[in-house]
Structure 1
Amino acid sequence: MSELIDNRSKKPYDKEKLEKLKEVIKELHEGKTVDEVKAKFADVLEGTSPLDISRMEVELVKDGLPIEEIQNLCDVHAEVFKGSIEEIHHADEVPGHPVYTLRQENMALTNIMEELIPEDLEKFMENDSDDNRFKLIEDINLIWDIDKHYSRKENLIFPYLEKAGITAPPQVMWGVDDEIREKIKAAKKQLVEYSGNKELVKEKILAATEQAVDMIFKEDSILFPMALDTLTEDEWIKVYEGSEEIGYAVIPPQKEWELKRVNVLKKEEEDKGITDSGFVKFETGILSSKELELMLNHIPGDFTFVDKDNIVKYFSQGKERIFARTKAIIGRTVENCHPPKSAHIVEAIVNDFKAGKKESESFWIQMGEKFVLIQYFAVRDKDGQFMGTLEHTMDIAPLRALDGEKRLMSE
């Protein structure tokens, strides 16, 4: 019956305090300094909780302050509230819990950014040898793992916060996450394409690491307590189950989370390869449906899949199709999707596949300047059972024109 239980905490809603907190941010927005605001609102800031900040940001958005403005002031917000946010210790103290793992990652990332990188950066500033440059590149590659950390909170935790009506903080934080991602990429680019400007390298690295460390503070003191105060046990179980699909940053979880009970809300689709967080599971990896669609659309040529009952289930939408396809063909029998003069050929191919007489069949035709290869493949499961037919069509004229060798990357 857990699906009928809403175990979110219902904390008192102090409207007077909320209005004063909004005034804090509005004065910052108007140009007041952090010290000025702290002095004026010391009594309000004392005991401020992450939930207070969440509610305040939601109200600011309702008042018309753009998300981008809140995002631009995010670092200032953190400085104002630093030291005033009450400590909250819940399930994040339990090894294996998603928040416990996120905190462990934050500690590991902090160690890299505050100890390892400064040490290696100092060596590089003294001697910009390739060895010292490559060591910094390795360090940047390590902290790029933060992308998995951010992806887990964005794709697994944020949806439940938004479901609970907490919309502004996730939007603000996601925007800052993307800024950090871009700064890490910019730092690596300066190192990979290094042209002798050591100061610029240092500037880019510090810009990335300083903002990433600030985000760690915001997560540890605002996001995680707010999430622990908001998500239900069933929701945390879903977050836990979806985490491995996205991956972990720098260090793996110390141990599995000993769930208090079985997740009775677990969807039947999970067993069919579809996860609660929208990922498609394969034996060799995991992709979101969007990634899978884009991947198929970017592979050269056209794909069409017909299931074991001769029903057209899917076709790719690459930039240059050989034969026209419309969504109207989805759900139709494959014989009805071909002109009468070729329908009997398609039917014969599929029958041979079903009977196990063939595994593939190919045709090639000249179409103006295009030399089109049309291939059909029998799709079978691991037990050899026929599951459908895959058609792949591609203009191979450019491939036929290849000669000699190409060993260098194009300009």
Structure 2
Amino acid sequence: MNDTCPTKTLPEGHPIRVYFQENDIIHTLLEELTATNPAEELQKYTNIFNQLYTIEKRFARKENQLFPFLEKRGWNGPSQGMWSFHDNLREQFRLIRYYLKTNNPEKINTNTPFLVDGIYRLLNVEETVLFPNALDLLEEKDWIEMRAGEEEIGWMLSKNPAAYPSQKYIHPSEDFTQREMPFSLENTSHYDEGYMTVEQVNLLFRTLPLDLTYVDENDKVIFYNRGEERVFPRSAGIIGREVKFCHPPKSVDTVLKILDEFRKGTKSESSFWINFKERLIYIRYFAVRDADKNYKGVIEMSQDITDIKKIEGEKRLLDWE
């Protein structure tokens, strides 16, 4: 960390201090990458490149943690301009990775300076604009909450930074801190992440391009979603019915075996794919367990993957017109 940097006064583990710790790593990697000739040391270049690519964790932390807090304070610029900068760098990484895969050192040499210069410019904007303003705008409670969320994304560091504040880390799934929400919580229920009304939950299940059926720990069907185009027909009559009576006789033994293994804890997932009405259907079963690993039933998921299976290459542009 630069001795003149004001973040040296920040406590260990503070999100901005960690960003500057990563800066040291990034500068070293950029210097090593620039000094390595891929035509002569392709493996060394690849190793350095892969280490540098962990900068994606830094991008993700900014986009999903830092930027949302800045938006709450009325500063939307980073979410718009800097996120686009991230995407440009991601494209450079993707391009060089392609040339590494196709063993094209000439193209790697041509494109490396664009990646390196782009990262240097990004670091400069962070150090001179983003981080100083963030320190002015955000409050201590923001940094504490932000750091808790960063735990799930990770860092470029060889080991996790010190806790911030210096106390036991609370996993987001166990964090019940009441926070001010930018939307009404009236008539909503709290889920693992976020709040939804009954109407929103129904709309979510109805919109998902999947057939979902939930069988409880007593082997009774307690839920299915009403999608626009279900793969297999369902009616309200199956609610409360034993699952073994909801499948054709020829497949009942398989279903019961899956339930038995899930209940015993020896298996947690099973998959099948069949041809049905000239479509390829992917059927998956997932064991449902609570936080104490107690068996709570099974989710059956069916999806028409006929068109998905045909996908090749990439599609990055909208083609509605």
Amino acid at match of 1:171: Q
Partner of 1:323: 232
* Equivalent runs, 1:17-28 vs 2, <5 Å: none
Amino acid at match of 1:274: D
Residue 274 in structure 1 maps to residue 274 in structure 2? no
Partner of 2:136: 229
User: What is the Cα deviation at residue 135 of structure 1?
Assistant: 1.5
Amino acid at match of 2:246: V
* Equivalent runs, 1:209-358 vs 2, <5 Å: 209-259=116-166, 267=176, 274=192, 302-307=211-216, 310-312=221-223, 322-323=231-232, 335-336=238-239, 345-346=245-246
Amino acid at match of 2:222: I
The 3 A distance-change label for structure 1 pair 149 and 367 is: closer
What percentage of aligned pairs have identical amino acids?
27
The SS at the match of 2:6 is coil
The 3 A distance-change label for structure 1 pair 215 and 358 is: closer
Partner of 2:58: 149
Partner of 1:134: 43
The SS at the match of 2:151 is helix
Partner of 2:78: 169
The 3 A distance-change label for structure 1 pair 177 and 346 is: same
User: What is the Cα deviation at residue 217 of structure 1?
Assistant: 1.2
Cα offsets for 1:167-202 (capped at 9, x unmatched): 12331111111111111221222222134x62x322
For residues 193 and 144 of structure 1, the distance between their equivalents in structure 2, rounded to whole angstroms, comes to 18
Q: Confirm or deny: 8 A CA contact 1:305 1:315 kept in the other structure.
A: no
For residues 260 and 375 of structure 1, the distance between their equivalents in structure 2, rounded to whole angstroms, comes to 41
Amino acid at match of 2:12: P
For residues 133 and 111 of structure 1, the distance between their equivalents in structure 2, rounded to whole angstroms, comes to 18
Q: Confirm or deny: 8 A CA contact 1:117 1:136 kept in the other structure.
A: yes
User: What is the Cα deviation at residue 357 of structure 1?
Assistant: 6.9
For residues 254 and 168 of structure 1, the distance between their equivalents in structure 2, rounded to whole angstroms, comes to 28
User: What is the Cα deviation at residue 267 of structure 1?
Assistant: 2.9
Cα offsets for 1:18-46 (capped at 9, x unmatched): xxxxxxxxxxxxxxxxxxxxxxxxxxxxx
Amino acid at match of 1:312: F
User: What is the Cα deviation at residue 91 of structure 1?
Assistant: 7.7
Amino acid at match of 1:207: F
Structure 1 length-normalised TM: 0.51
Structure 2 length-normalised TM: 0.64
The 3 A distance-change label for structure 1 pair 217 and 345 is: same
Cα offsets for 1:371-400 (capped at 9, x unmatched): 979776764447674412322447899xxx
For residues 186 and 363 of structure 1, the distance between their equivalents in structure 2, rounded to whole angstroms, comes to 36
Partner of 1:391: 300
Q: Confirm or deny: 8 A CA contact 1:145 1:250 kept in the other structure.
A: no
Specify which structure has the higher proportion of helix: 1
The 3 A distance-change label for structure 1 pair 324 and 163 is: farther
For residues 249 and 95 of structure 1, the distance between their equivalents in structure 2, rounded to whole angstroms, comes to 16
Amino acid at match of 2:20: R
Cα offsets for 1:36-80 (capped at 9, x unmatched): xxxxxxxxxxxxxxxxxxxxxxxxxxxxxxxxxxxxxxxxxxxxx
Amino acid at match of 1:120: T
Q: Confirm or deny: 8 A CA contact 2:34 2:112 kept in the other structure.
A: no
Partner of 1:100: 17
Q: Confirm or deny: 8 A CA contact 2:215 2:297 kept in the other structure.
A: yes
For residues 150 and 121 of structure 2, the distance between their equivalents in structure 1, rounded to whole angstroms, comes to 23
Partner of 2:109: 202
Amino acid at match of 1:111: T
Partner of 1:285: none
For residues 30 and 271 of structure 2, the distance between their equivalents in structure 1, rounded to whole angstroms, comes to 55
For residues 359 and 380 of structure 1, the distance between their equivalents in structure 2, rounded to whole angstroms, comes to 9
The 3 A distance-change label for structure 1 pair 165 and 324 is: farther
Q: How many residues align?
A: 264
Amino acid at match of 1:311: I
* Equivalent runs, 1:62-101 vs 2, <5 Å: 89=6, 93-101=10-18
Q: Confirm or deny: 8 A CA contact 1:373 1:393 kept in the other structure.
A: yes
For residues 103 and 205 of structure 1, the distance between their equivalents in structure 2, rounded to whole angstroms, comes to 23
The 3 A distance-change label for structure 1 pair 311 and 108 is: same
Q: Confirm or deny: 8 A CA contact 1:92 1:99 kept in the other structure.
A: no
User: What is the Cα deviation at residue 322 of structure 1?
Assistant: 2.8
Which structure 2 residue ranges, 5 or more long, are not aligned?
Answer: 180-189, 196-204, 264-269, 307-321
User: What is the Cα deviation at residue 212 of structure 1?
Assistant: 0.4
For residues 261 and 343 of structure 1, the distance between their equivalents in structure 2, rounded to whole angstroms, comes to 44
Q: Confirm or deny: 8 A CA contact 1:303 1:391 kept in the other structure.
A: yes
User: What is the Cα deviation at residue 140 of structure 1?
Assistant: 1.2
Partner of 1:184: 93
Partner of 2:29: 112
